Amino acid sequence: MGVLDRWWAERAVHSVVFMRNDTNEEGKGATRRTALRGLGLAAGGMALATGPGASAASATPRRGLATYVLVHGTHSAGAFWMPIARDLVLRGHRVVMVDQPRHGAEAFVAESYQRQDLAAMAVEPSPLKHLGLDDYEARVTGIVRQAARSGPVVLVGHSLGGVSVSRVADAVPHLLHHICYMAAFCPSRLLPTADACTAAPENANAVSPAELTVGDPDRLGVLRLNFRTGVSGELALLKEMICADYPDADFRRILSGMQTDEPVAAYAGRAVGRPGRWGRVPRTYLRFGKDRTIATALQDRMIAEADASTPGNRFRVHDFPDASHVGPLDPTPVADVLDRLAEQRN
């Protein structure tokens, strides 16, 4: 633990579609910094389908059914959103559950992870090593461009997905009707990256998965976690981080959809929205009161700093006081809030 502690200190169904985008620029700025204190973990799962590449051509938003573009968090996949997506579709909305590059339908599963050979896992190379926040932004922006041709777009991110929301809203604000952060990172001038957010004093009581880390993230280029552990103490730690209030059976279901690797560079990428671009898009924050991954105090600070940057366009905050990091077991209350975002304007 001493080595990792020093390491932290150095790091101050109507339409359910999965899109591909082959952009693969190497992420910049991966340093000896990680987000282990607040990984922004999210449950994942198998993707339903993989569609053609998203066009880079500019789109002009049209009136029509709203499309919800849902962005997962770290070590996760688009299928994390399935319960909420199903509810939104049944209410008449279109939904796209994004798989970020090499996640979900494209997931990398280490051979050593399948065998639970921890020594081999510590050194097995990962194709996610060269991915970064630029790749994540490109994936989501391509999907938003296509979706905006058919009507309003509501962009929602959970956990680490918040940095993609900020990046995309800054890149194409004219294509977005509303953005929403669900217990998600919302970087600011003072906390410009996910790394900086997790290192903030407001996140001091977040639960750390340091003992679950396999291999050296600087050598691998990824944060590699072992979600198939059978060690009771490690399982208890994961449950506290992800969904302390869930029954064990639901917790195990969530773990089964998690994937081992997340690129270190995704945490180090700057994602500060500019007031004249990101700051003009109406925005909502879903605040989870029992989150042990992105502490509620950190959520409050990110909300306050965003509001200070655009006092004329403040967050609409919805409190879920009993929710852990992945949100309520019953998706209905979250879907109720998201459903209304399609109609809201400044």
**Residues 273-287 pLDDT 10s:** 999 999 999 999 999
Q: How confident is the model at residue 346 (pLDDT cuts 50, 70, 90)?
A: low
Q: pLDDT tens for residues 3-59?
A: 333 333 333 333 344 333 333 333 333 333 333 444 444 433 222 323 334 333 334
What's the domain count of the chain?
A: 1
Task: Flag whether pLDDT at 198 surpasses 90.
Answer: yes
pLDDT (0 to 100) of residue 54:
39
CATH number for the domain including 131? 3.40.50.1820
Q: What does 12-44 look like in DSSP terms, one character per residue?
A: ----EE--B----PPPP---S---TTS--B---
Decide if 276 is inside a domain.
Answer: yes
The stretch 198-211 carries a mean pLDDT of 90
Number of residues that make up the chain: 346
Task: Flag whether pLDDT at 158 surpasses 60.
Answer: yes
Owning domain of residue 57: 2-341
Decide if 118 is inside a domain.
Answer: yes
How, if at all, do strands 67-71 and 153-158 pair? parallel
Average pLDDT, the chain: 85
Assign 94 to helix, strand or coil.
strand
Decide if 346 is inside a domain.
Answer: no
The stretch 63-68 carries a mean pLDDT of 83
Task: Flag whether pLDDT at 62 surpasses 70.
Answer: no
Decide if 216 is inside a domain.
Answer: yes
**Neighbour-count burial of 201, counting CB atoms closer than 10 A to its CB (0-12 exposed, 13-18 middle, 19+ buried):** exposed
Based on C-alpha coordinates, what's the Rg of the chain? 18
Q: pLDDT tens for residues 309-323?
A: 999 999 999 999 999
**Neighbour-count burial of 325, counting CB atoms closer than 10 A to its CB (0-12 exposed, 13-18 middle, 19+ buried):** buried
Q: pLDDT tens for residues 90-129?
A: 999 999 999 999 999 999 999 999 999 999 999 999 999 9
Q: How confident is the model at residue 253 (pLDDT cuts 50, 70, 90)?
A: very high
Q: How confident is the model at residue 345 (pLDDT cuts 50, 70, 90)?
A: low
The secondary structure of residue 213, as a DSSP letter, is B
C-alpha to C-alpha distance for 145 and 147, rounded to whole angstroms: 6
Decide if 307 is inside a domain.
Answer: yes
pLDDT (0 to 100) of residue 32:
32
C-alpha to C-alpha distance for 215 and 224, rounded to whole angstroms: 7
The stretch 179-202 carries a mean pLDDT of 97
Nearest to 132 by CA among 108, 86, 101: 101
Q: How confident is the model at residue 212 (pLDDT cuts 50, 70, 90)?
A: confident
CA atoms within a 13 Å half-sphere pointing along the CA-CB vector of 140: 35
**Neighbour-count burial of 128, counting CB atoms closer than 10 A to its CB (0-12 exposed, 13-18 middle, 19+ buried):** buried
C-alpha to C-alpha distance for 34 and 9, rounded to whole angstroms: 9
Cα distances (angstroms) measured from residue 234 to each of 209, 213, 229 = 8, 11, 7
For residue 276, give both structure tokens: 């004249």
For the chain, the maximum distance between any two Cα atoms, rounded to a whole number of angstroms, is: 56
The Cα angle at residue 249 between residues 106 and 116, in degrees rounded to 5: 50
Assign 53 to helix, strand or coil.
strand
Q: Which residues pair with 316 in a beta bridge?
A: 284
pLDDT (0 to 100) of residue 128:
97
